[in-house]
Structure 1
Amino acid sequence: MKIAVVGCTHAGTSAVKTILSENPTAEVTVYERNDNVSFLSCGIALYVGGVVKDPAGLFYSNPDELKSMGADVRMEHNVTNIDVNKKTLSVENLKTGEFFDDSYDKLVLTTGSWPIIPPIPGIESKNVVLCKNYNQAKEIIARKTDKKKITVVGGGYIGIELVEAFANDNKEVTLVDGLDRVLNKYLDHEFTSVLEEEIKNHNVKIQLNEMVQGFTDNEAGDMTTVVTSGGEYESELVILCVGFKPSTELVKDQVDMMPNGAIIVDDYMRTSAPDVFAAGDSCAVNYNPTGGHAYIPLATNAVRMGFLVGKNIDGPKVKYRGTQSTSGLHLFGFNIGSTGVTDSSAKAFGLETSSVLFEDFYRPEFMPTNEKILMKLVYEKDTLRIVGGQVMSKYDVTQSANTLSLAIQARMTIEDLALVDFFFQPHFDRPWNYLNLVAQKALEQENMISKVDVESFDAAAEHAEKTVSE
């Protein structure tokens, strides 16, 4: 079986390893146009901020490892054309300039994504840089050293994490976003308003509801003015991170795609073309909150999908369980977890939802230290099925987002979560776990139960603790 793998970051690396583990006699050729594989772009801000000292730690594989498993790894090779009917591809060796053709029995498309580059006047300025791969991360590191004024365009995860890294490095940071809130895709306003205030407290200038209209360099070329619909901001370095688009031009009109170009795959990672598989940021995911497709470029999705390609390359064996778009973030001391839809995104996905917001201490108040948790549970109106959740605290409760993710995947209702069995230990939680409590509040809202007397449980727990100690 002759297999060609195009692209080798997360999905590609996972696919190659699994293919060769499952099919050691397979002839696997990897085409990667960069000079590295498996770079964790989610660690760029940690690298920029100096938390990660050695960038080698942001790679979890390398070409030599894949070669040792039996792959023919061709780095700095750019695939320029694919014909899925003829099962052929054309390749350019970027090091020598040589062009050649190849064929395959099975094709794995793990071409990933690329930053969206809006057609803004002046965007070609040398002071405007992207933030996606290892080489871009190195450029940001090299150029930030002697820069004081830095503007980040885009308030998603990468943009926000870079803002924190630059602020902690005592830079004069401006954040520009065309939307009315930061982290708009992941959190509702009750959470983002808290974070925005915290960001401002770290001397970051936040300019929301402002569209970038142009970039203008001064005569010396060492300063760029970011011109927006609401103002102008002088910057020595501008980081552009306004989102990503799937890199799927090679198979346009040859496989089924979403309107944005994301490849649609079935439960076994097969595209609409025979013997063509796809995984990672180039694909739409099967989105469990809606039961449909969505474009959610996350490394976790990519690794899982690549693994499934390997499992199913010689026949359907292991089904894709779908995704909830679960993510976590540590920002200025806050620990944040999110999964599924938010109030603001539910309608865009065609869901009619209700939600509850709940705040309480994560453990009994008789404990010497404590922190509050802000939680939101989003559920479908008709079925009461859980479809989303958000948690935020100075205490690390981010694993609760994983629990809520499992609840969505298992199609649990608010009643299921309200009564599910969680352990109780005063060091960690309450007699009713905080996830029980937010679900019970949802049941109250639906007039399905009366208010739970949490205080009496805490009092009983405190009495029990005293009795044991005596």
Structure 2
Amino acid sequence: MKVIVIGCTHAGTAAIVNTAKLYPEAEITVYERGDNISFLSCGIALYVSGVVKDPEGLFYSSPEKLAELGVATKMRHDVIHIDTDRKIVRVRNLETNEEFEDTYDKLIMTTGSWPIIPKLEGIDLDNILLSKNYNHSNTIIEKAKDAKRITVVGAGYIGVELVEAFQMNGKEVTLIDSEDRILNKYLDPEFTAAIEHSLQDHGIHLALGQTVTRFEGENGKVTKVVTSKGEYGTDLVILCIGFRPNTELLKGQVDMLPNGAIKVNEYMQTSKPDVYAAGDSCAIHYNPTGEHAYIPLATNAVRMGTLVARNLVRQTTPYMGTQGTSGLKIYENNMAATGLTELAAADANIEAEAVTIRDHYRPEFMPTSEELMLKVVYEKATRRIIGAQIMSKADLTQSINTISVCIQNKMTIDQLAFIDFFFQPHYNKPWNYLNTPGLQALPMIEVKEAVAHI
């Protein structure tokens, strides 16, 4: 069996390693146009801030490690054309400019995503940077050394983590986003308001609800960001607007979402059975809505890459879908979310209700007992749990993984009330804080109706 893998980050590495172990007789060739593989891009902010001193720890594989598994890894090789009917790929060696063709029995597309770059006046000025890969992170660190004022455009996870990192390094930081609040895709307003206050308390300027219209500069370097509401002097700009799947190679050959994300079935097959896809290049099955969605996360990527290998020869292990579960630490706040926010449920035309609790996570008689805020969102008609968010100065983020399992198994808010959780004063209360939203959501029982049944 001849297997070609295009792209080697999270999904690609998982697919390659598992394919090599499951099918030792397979001839596996990897084409990667970059000069490194398996970089944990979620660690960029930690690297920039100095928390991670040695970037080698952000790589979890290498061409040498793959070679030990019998895999031929072709670095700096760009696949420029794919013919899925003839099962042929055309490749350009970026070092020599030589072009050649290769054939496959199975093709694995793990081409990932690339940052969205707006077509704005001044976008080509020096010191306007992206934040995606290892080379980007090194450039950011080098350029930031001489920058006093840094502007981050985009208030998603990466943008918010970067402004914290820059502030901790003593920079004057501005965060710009066209939405009127940060992290709007992941958290509801009561959570984002608290994080915004924390950012502002640390001196970060929030320029929200305004869109960048152009960049201005002097001597070829950016000096100003102009938005729909103001102007911001700057020495360095980091674009964190979002990501777009790298799928042009298969455009018109397999089914895709409107944004170009490849659609796959539960066995990671595209609409061409011998072409598989995983990671940021494709859509996931989103359990809260039951629809395809584009949610580029490393967790989704490694799961899907592993499933590609397990289903490459025959359908053995179906994908259970995802809830888009994620976590974040910004200054003193630990937060995590899974599934739909209350606002996202409304946007998805799901009639939902929510319960929000504010409590101490363990008994107040303990030496410390941090407060927490937990919100659980559920579908009104079925009472099925469809989302949750938590935030606390104590690290309670792992509890959101429990709610993720509840969503995946289509559990109701009423069942959440009575799930068996242990009690120990070091960790929680007799009624675990995860039970509490379920208890509060329980429907009232009419007294007359209850007495009539006695």
The interval holding the TM-score normalised by the smaller chain is over 0.9
- By how many angstroms is 1:81 displaced? 0.4
1:267 corresponds in structure 2 to 266
For residues 446 and 47 of structure 2, the distance between their equivalents in structure 1, rounded to whole angstroms, comes to 49
Helix, strand or coil for the counterpart of 1:434? Answer: coil
Q: Contact 1:127–1:224 at 8 Å: present in 2 too?
A: no
Code of the residue aligned with 1:227 in structure 2: it is V
User: Counterparts of 1:368 and 1:234 in 2: how far apart (Å)?
Assistant: 47
CA shift digits 1:393-425 (9 cap, x unpaired): 000000011011011001110111110000000
Counterpart amino acid of residue 434 in structure 2? L
Match of 2:124 in 1: 124
Check 1:417–1:448 CA distance in 2 against 1; reply closer, same or farther (3 A cut).
Answer: farther
Report sequence identity in percent. Answer: 57
Q: Does 1:64 align with 2:64?
A: yes
> Are 1:276 and 2:292 counterparts?
no
1:3-402 paired onto structure 2 within 5 Å = 3-218=3-218, 220-402=219-401
User: Is residue 152–residue 240 contact of structure 1 (8 Å, CA) maintained in 2?
Assistant: yes
Cα distance in 2, alignment partners of residues 448 and 418 from structure 1: 16
Deviations 1:320-342 (A, max 9, x none): 01100000001011000100000
Residues 59-115 of structure 1 deviation map (CA, whole Å, 9 limit, x = unaligned)? 111111111101111001000000101110100001111110111011000000000
1:222 shift after superposition: 4.4
* Alpha-carbon distance in structure 2 between the residues aligned to 1:105 and 1:360: 57
Secondary structure at the counterpart of residue 434 of structure 2: helix
Deviations 1:197-225 (A, max 9, x none): 1100000000000000000102x344421
SS in 1 for 2:226: strand
Task: Report the CA distance between 1:291 and its aligned residue.
Answer: 1.2
Matched to 2:307, the amino acid is L
1:447 maps to 444
User: Residue by residue, what CA displacement relative to the aligned partner does 1:325-379 show, whole Å, maximum 9, x if unpaired?
Assistant: 0000010110001000001111333322111111000001111211000010000
**Conserved? CA contact 2:8–2:37, under 8 Å:** yes
C-alpha distance in 1 between matches for 2:111 and 2:99: 19
3-state SS of 1:53 partner? coil
Which TM-score applies when normalising by structure 2? Answer: 0.97
The residue identity in structure 2 corresponding to 1:257 is: M
| Pairwise CA distance, 1:449 | 9.9
Counterpart amino acid of residue 36 in structure 1: N
Gaps of 5+ in 2: 448-454
Partners of 1:448 and 1:112 in 2: CA distance: 52
The corresponding residue for 1:462 is none
Aligned-pair Cα RMSD in Å: 1.1
Aligned to 1:422: 421
Residues in 1 aligned to 2:228 and 2:261: alpha-carbon distance in whole angstroms = 31
Distance between the aligned counterparts of 1:223 and 1:12, measured in 2? Answer: 36
Partners in 1 of 2:220 and 2:267 — Cα distance? Answer: 51
- 1:449 and 1:125 map into 2 onto residues whose CA distance is 68
AA of the residue aligned to 1:436: N
Aligned partners of 2:125 and 2:222 also within 8 Å: no
Distance 1:103 1:121 in 2: 43
Q: How many residues align?
A: 447
Structure 1 gaps, min length 5: 451-470
The CA distance in 2 between the partners of 1:151 and 1:366, in whole Å, is: 45
